[in-house]
Amino acid sequence: MANLAGFDANRVEPSTDYDPLPAGKYLAVITDSEMKPTKAGTGSYLQLTFEIIDGPHKGRKVWARLNLVNNNETTVKIAQAELSALCRAVGVLAPNDSVELHNLPLVVTVKCKKRTDTDEISNEVKGYAKKETPQPQPPATPALPAPSANGTPPWRR
C-alpha cells in the first residue's frame, strides 16, 4: 500500500496517451543524459532525452541511445559518429561530461519505426543539425516620392 493522502485528482490534469511524433525535423534541447548498461550487461549506452522547444509539438520528448561501449566495433563507430554529429550541432566539440550538451538548441530528425516486440510505431532520433540562425535582412532602401500627375517630381515643383 502507498499513502496518497493529500492527492486530489480534481486539481491535476490527467495524463494523455501520446501518439508518436510525425517524422520530421524538430527544434529541441537535451534535458537529460545518462549512461546505462545494455540488456546483455556487456556494454553501456548514453541515453539522451530531447525536448521539443518549438511548434505544435512543443514540450514533447524523444530519446536517443548511443551504444558507446560495446563488443561490436561497428556499433561503437556508429554511436561515436552520431555523438560527433550531435556535438557539432550544439557547438561543443570535446565535452568532458554529457551535461555540457544540455539546453543547447539543435535540430533533430525524427523517424517513425515499427517496434519488433509490440508492432507499435515509435520514434527514433536519426540525425542532428545546427539550429538555423535567421539571416540578417539588408536595410530597406527608402522609397522615392512618386512624381506628381504631370510627371514633375515633388522636389522640383
What class does CATH assign to 19-130? Answer: mainly beta
39-72 per-position pLDDT tens digit: 988 999 999 999 999 999 999 999 999 999 999 9
Q: Contact, 106 vs 29, CB < 8 A?
A: yes
What pLDDT was estimated at residue 98?
96
Domain residue extents for the chain = 19-130
The conformation of residue 144, written as its DSSP 8-state character, comes to P
* pLDDT tens digits along 85-105: 999 999 999 999 999 999 999
Residue 157 contacts by C-beta under 8 Å, 6 or more apart in sequence? 148
Q: Tell me how far apart the alpha carbons of residues 150 and 130 are, in angstroms, rounded to a whole number.
A: 55
* Nearest CA among 44, 35, 28 for reference residue 99: 35
DSSP helix/strand/coil, 43: coil
pTM over 0.95? The answer is no
HSE, side-chain direction, 13 A CA sphere, residue 155: 2
